[in-house]
Amino acid sequence: MDWLDFIKVMIVDEKGAKAKYGVAATKAADPELKAMFQELQDEEEVHIQILEGKLETLKRKTGAG
């Protein structure tokens, strides 16, 4: 596995975590718990965006398409 593939796998992992936090937020009855899961879900979205940016940078650097 090269580094491009590694980052792609990490993006998939982050998307999975985001989805799980979304499910937890939906099911949480306690408002504070719901807010915590929503915050964690938002943080996963930030991680996804960061990784996607890094992936594009690495693609440009390596000439990969």
Residue 65 has pLDDT above 80, yes or no: no
First CA to last CA distance, the chain: 16
pTM, two decimal places: 0.90
Q: For 1-40, how does the pLDDT look when each residue is reduced to its tens digit (9 = 90+)?
A: 899 999 999 999 999 999 999 999 999 999 999 999 999 9
Q: Are 39 and 55 in contact (CB under 8 A)?
A: no
Three-class SS state of 29: coil
Distance CA 35, CA 26 (A): 10
Q: Are 59 and 65 in contact (CB under 8 A)?
A: yes
For each of the domains in the chain, give its residue range(s) and CATH number, in order of start: 3-62 (1.20.5)
Q: Are 55 and 7 in contact (CB under 8 A)?
A: yes
